[in-house]
């Protein structure tokens, strides 16, 4: 389903340039509207974003528009911003009938575009809506932020379908770039986006049979590593002292990937992409040595999430890193004699099908099982069990450096909880006074009733305090990433069954649908 065509603003909504309203061609106006929708975000004040947007916007302008619009500072998008705000308000205030009509339209779109027949089975498609045009944001301080993501048309898209089947119809007047029949890949359609020339795919939904089979293979491969891990560790510990520098570098990198759960990392063009790195692409500027045996890491990892960690390492690891840093500049690679293909080739000699990526899944799943095994609560409530699970999950998220900013409104939520507890405590205090009076008057029935009320209030307070602890401990940790990508779901399903916890208490609907294949696991399953 391609993005809808652009609908120009009503006649009274214009760009204001140097104090005067300006008529723009639809193409130029559409790109201006992209900026207007983002004016309330931090991006709109970012000089790189603004510069890239303005330069790219001018490439859409006609000769006359370019002659007029020469300075971004003279551009006033306020009428467009006001229009979008009005539209948002209208959307909020839709009638029940209008909301129902909108819902039915979405259902029709899903029925028309959202399914594929795969080997005779009707399967949901994940991302059937092609991303609409807009401004590229990127992660962190991306050098290309603000550039225009162009509209994807049928002529950009390759359709992958069974031979002899009728391909979906492109929009009127358009044609697909290509229609192919490749049963060796799992994508249904692909195109190349214009900013970084990345290939984008339309795939089956996360809970499709094919995706489930791939997930099972991934977790089984990580589980298989359990049987090899001791041998692999002994192997790289021996290699740490090898005479060949490339072997020493490989062993040291493997230690970091295994013990610190660092992503393997790939070389990239820093000028074209955000400067994010992994283990194999670390530079000297990303590490500091602290005598006698500590290494401080400080670098931007995937999605520009900063990784800062000071760790104590074995003496030989410390010595090796010191050697690798000799006679090098801060901008030089730490592992200058190591490549990811060479590392993976070596790993496959140690275990069939093993790559550096498997260690992260192995360590996440191993840690979850280990942390859950440590739980030792006497007659725990459901809330205490969930808190204990989340703490185990958080240990994995911290290991994998899955951070997030403190959610907006966090303090407001916490204050509401504190206020409720305060009210309940005041109620309890009043009831305790009434209880003493009832005891003095020997009113046994009244005493029993008041004691029951006090007990209920105490239970409410206890539950709210657990909720508060849970929220506070998780405010800067993203628990979801490790759940959906790294922790074997069979561990969670088995733990829930064994501890009589409804799986929806720890897994979202998306998680449950994605991991249907793991739901039938036995309660005694151990990773």
Active site residues: 486
CB 338 within 8 A of CB 252: no
* Residue 243, burial from CB neighbour count under 10 angstroms (0-12, 13-18, 19+): exposed
Which among 204, 198, 84, 206 has a CA at the least distance from the CA of 152? 198
* Residue 356, burial from CB neighbour count under 10 angstroms (0-12, 13-18, 19+): buried
Question: Mapping DSSP to helix (H, G, I), strand (E, B) and coil, where does residue 115 land?
Answer: strand
Question: Mapping DSSP to helix (H, G, I), strand (E, B) and coil, where does residue 447 land?
Answer: helix
Q: Which residues make Cβ contacts (< 8 Å) with residue 247, sequence separation at least 6?
A: 239
Neighbours of 32 (CB within 10 A): 22
- Round the CA-based radius of gyration of the chain to a whole number and report it: 29
End-to-end Cα spacing for the chain: 41
Question: Mapping DSSP to helix (H, G, I), strand (E, B) and coil, where does residue 251 land?
Answer: helix
Which among 58, 3, 11 has a CA at the least distance from the CA of 35? 58
* Residue 135, burial from CB neighbour count under 10 angstroms (0-12, 13-18, 19+): buried
CB 307 within 8 A of CB 298: yes
Neighbours of 507 (CB within 10 A): 20
CB 425 within 8 A of CB 494: no
> In Å, what is the CA distance from 231 to each residue of 235, 238, 275?
6, 11, 35
CB 190 within 8 A of CB 208: no
CB 138 within 8 A of CB 123: no
Q: Which residues make Cβ contacts (< 8 Å) with residue 10, sequence separation at least 6?
A: 83
Which among 498, 478, 479 has a CA at the least distance from the CA of 490? 498
Q: Is the dihedral of CA 407, 413, 415, 418 positive or negative?
A: negative
């Amino acid at each position: 389903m391609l993005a809808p065509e652009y609908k120009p603003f009503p006649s009274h909504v214009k760009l204001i340039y140097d104090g005067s309203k300006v008529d723009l061609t639809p193409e130029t106006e559409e790109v201006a509207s992209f900026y207007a929708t983002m004016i309330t975000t931090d991006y709109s004040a970012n000089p790189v974003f603004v510069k890239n947007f303005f330069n790219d916007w001018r490439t859409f302008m006609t000769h006359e528009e370019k002659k007029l619009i020469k300075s971004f500072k003279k551009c006033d998008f306020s009428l467009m911003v006001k229009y979008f705000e009005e539209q948002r308000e209208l959307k909020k205030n839709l009638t029940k009938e209008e909301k129902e009509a909108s819902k039915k339209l979405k259902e029709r779109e899903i029925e028309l575009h959202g399914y594929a027949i795969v080997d005779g089975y009707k399967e949901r498609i994940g991302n059937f809506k092609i991303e609409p045009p807009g401004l590229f944001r990127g992660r962190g301080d991306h050098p290309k932020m603000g550039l225009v993501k162009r509209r994807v048309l049928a002529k950009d898209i390759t359709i992958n379908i069974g031979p002899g089947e009728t391909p979906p119809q492109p929009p009127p007047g358009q044609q697909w770039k290509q229609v192919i029949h490749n049963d060796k890949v799992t994508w249904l359609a692909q195109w190349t986006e214009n900013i970084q020339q990345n290939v984008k795919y339309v795939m089956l939904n996360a809970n499709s049979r094919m995706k489930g089979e791939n997930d099972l293979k991934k977790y089984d491969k990580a589980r298989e590593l359990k049987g090899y891990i001791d041998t692999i560790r002994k192997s790289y510990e021996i290699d740490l002292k090898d005479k060949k520098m490339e072997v020493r570098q490989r062993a040291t990198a493997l230690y970091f990937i295994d013990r610190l759960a660092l992503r393997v990392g790939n070389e990239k063009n820093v000028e074209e992409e955000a400067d994010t790195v992994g283990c194999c692409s670390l530079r000297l500027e990303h590490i500091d040595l602290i005598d006698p045996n500590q290494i401080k890491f400080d670098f931007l990892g995937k999605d520009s999430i900063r990784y800062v960690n000071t760790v104590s390492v074995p003496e030989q690891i410390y010595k090796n890193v010191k050697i690798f840093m000799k006679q090098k500049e801060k901008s030089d690679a730490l592992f200058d004699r190591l490549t990811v293909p060479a590392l993976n080739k070596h790993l496959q000699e140690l275990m069939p099908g093993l790559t550096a990526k498997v260690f992260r899944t192995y360590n996440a799943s191993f840690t979850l099982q280990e942390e859950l095994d440590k739980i030792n609560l006497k007659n725990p409530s459901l809330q205490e069990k969930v808190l204990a699970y989340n703490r185990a999950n958080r240990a994995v998220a911290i290991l994998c450096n899955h951070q997030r900013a403190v959610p907006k409104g966090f303090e407001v939520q916490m204050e509401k909880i504190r206020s409720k507890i305060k009210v309940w405590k005041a109620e309890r205090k009043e009831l305790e006074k009434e209880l003493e009076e009832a005891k003095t008057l020997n009113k046994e029935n009244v005493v029993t009733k008041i004691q029951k009320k006090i007990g209920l209030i105490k239970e409410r307070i206890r539950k709210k305090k657990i909720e508060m602890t849970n929220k506070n401990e998780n405010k800067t940790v993203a628990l979801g990433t490790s759940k959906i990508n790294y922790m074997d779901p069979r561990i969670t399903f088995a733990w829930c069954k064994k501890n009589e916890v409804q799986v929806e208490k720890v897994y979202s609907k998306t998680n449950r649908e994605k991991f249907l294949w793991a739901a039938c696991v036995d309660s005694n399953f151990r990773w």
